[in-house]
Amino acid sequence: MNVTHPCKCVLLINQTTHLVISSSYHPKMENFDPLGVHTGDSIVVAPSQTLTNSEYFMLRKTALKVVRHLGIVGECNIQYALNPKSEKYCIIEVNARLSRSSALASKATGYPLAYVATKLSLGKDLVSIRNSVTKTTTACFEPSLDYCVLKMPRWDLKKFRRVSNKLGSSMLSVGEVMSIGRSFEEVIQKACRMVNPALDGLEGLGSGLTSDDIPLDEQLSTPTDTRLFAVQRALEEGWGVDKVHDLTKIDKWFLSKLQNIADKRNACIACGNVDKLFAENGVDRMRSLKIDGFSDRQVSRLVVALILHSYEHISLNNIISSRHE
């Protein structure tokens, strides 16, 4: 199977009627990296951003068949490897237990997976279990999200000598962060700032995490803990989505969103100062940067200006109120 794309489905299974409820973001979450990188070492985004309707319902139908055939009661998550060009897929694993993916799903949706799964294992059914949030409705519903959630792993490989930073089927990360926002660009920039407080956002050239001694195409083709920043550097330098996709096999939808960040970063630098950046349609430009997750410190550094001077003539209240509208 060529260029397979990992994704995962989390389910709750009723003991009495085998009523199955999918409880993982509509109900799939998918990996940023192609197959070959452990899920624990890959960026995971939810709800799924690249699955078509046919792929979504195909994997959902398969998940229901699997849990019914195995007779699973409680919580279960299934990980797939999907070929987006042919819709061929393989089941990588079926975990009939609560896992890290279950914790991520529960936090992102607000659905108490562990609590409900325990009740189901004790013989309760989904109809009789009360929704712990509303206290009135039942737990028999599928959570739906109108926001984007992203999980980014964190590594400490530099603490050890002679340890390779190449990523593969063995998990190397020691932790992870979760960011929530309205767009993929926003959540990935938030996650970068949380994983590494020294970063202002997602940048390649300004991150200090790419090497000048290793060819950039080699940094792109080899999965490492810093490949994301090499990808961003390539996009900032004008390599283009197609060329980066050929080297990384990362889905073009994700790369196009990273290209948006790179384009706006380069536009800020090209302005040179804050007066030119906000000379026309200042509020709209500021809103656009905020929607894509740019921090105040990040923008001020890109236009070589102090934060207080940068926005003194722009009303942040107008920007905030316009976003709520």
Contact 137, 131 (CB under 8 A): yes
Q: What residue type is 183 in one-letter code?
A: S
Could you say which architecture CATH assigns to the domain 5-128?
A: 2-Layer Sandwich (3.30)
Tokens of 295: 């921090």
> For residues 325 and 200, which has the higher predicted lDDT (pLDDT)?
200
- Its pTM stands at 0.85
Say which range, 72-86, 88-102, 128-142, has the weakest mean pLDDT. Answer: 128-142
Q: What would the mean pLDDT of 78-93 be, rounded to a whole number?
A: 89
pLDDT of residue 6: 79
> For residues 151 and 106, which has the higher predicted lDDT (pLDDT)?
151
Highest mean pLDDT out of 100-114, 221-235, 261-275: 221-235
pLDDT confidence tier of residue 308, bands split at 50, 70 and 90: very low
Closest CA to 318 of 291, 284, 289: 284
Closest CA to 323 of 186, 144, 149: 186
Mode of pairing for the β-strands spanning 44-46 and 148-154: antiparallel
pLDDT of residue 321: 52
Residue that the structure tokens 């009360």 belong to: 130
pLDDT at 315 exceeding the cut of 70: no
Q: CATH 3.30.470.20 in the chain, residues? A: 5-128
pLDDT of residue 113: 83
Q: What are phi and psi of 21, to 5 degrees?
A: -120, 125
Highest mean pLDDT out of 18-27, 236-245, 269-278: 236-245
pLDDT of residue 161: 80
First-last CA distance in the chain: 46
What would you report as the CA-atom Rg of the chain, rounded to the nearest whole angstrom? 22
pLDDT of residue 73: 84
Task: Give me the torsion for CA of 183, 188, 191, 193, rounded to 10°.
Answer: -110
Distance CA 246, CA 12 (A): 38
pLDDT at 133 exceeding the cut of 50: yes
- CATH class label, 202-269: mainly alpha
pLDDT confidence tier of residue 17, bands split at 50, 70 and 90: very low
Q: What would the mean pLDDT of 275-283 be, rounded to a whole number?
A: 82
Q: What would the mean pLDDT of 78-103 be, rounded to a whole number?
A: 87
Which residues, including other chains, have CB under 8 Å from residue 251's CB and lie 6 or more apart? 5, 32, 34, 50, 84, 245
Q: What residue type is 165 in one-letter code?
A: N
Say which range, 61-70, 118-127, 172-181, 202-211, has the weakest mean pLDDT. Answer: 118-127
pLDDT of residue 28: 74
pLDDT confidence tier of residue 44, bands split at 50, 70 and 90: very high
pLDDT of residue 107: 84
* pLDDT above 70 coverage of the chain, percent: 86
Say which range, 128-142, 186-200, 254-268, 281-295, has the weakest mean pLDDT. Answer: 128-142
pLDDT confidence tier of residue 283, bands split at 50, 70 and 90: confident
Assign 3-class secondary structure to the chain: CCCCEEEEEEEEECCCCCCEEECCCCCEEEECCCCCCCHHHCCEEECCCCCCHHHHHHHHHHHHHHHHHHCCCEEEEEEEEECCCCCCEEEEEEECCCCHHHHHHHHHHCCCHHHHHHHHHCCCCCCCCECCCCCCCECCCCCCCCCEEEEEEECCHHHCCCCCCECCCCCCCCEEEEEEECCHHHHHHHHHHHHCCCCCCCCCCCCCCCCCCCCHHHHHHCCECCHHHHHHHHHHCCCCHHHHHHHHCCCHHHHHHHHHHHHHHHHHHHHCCHHHHCCCCHHHHHHHHHHCCCCHHHHHHHCCCCHHHHCCCCCHHHHHHHHHC
Mode of pairing for the β-strands spanning 74-82 and 89-95: antiparallel
Q: CATH 1.10.1030.10 in the chain, residues? A: 202-269
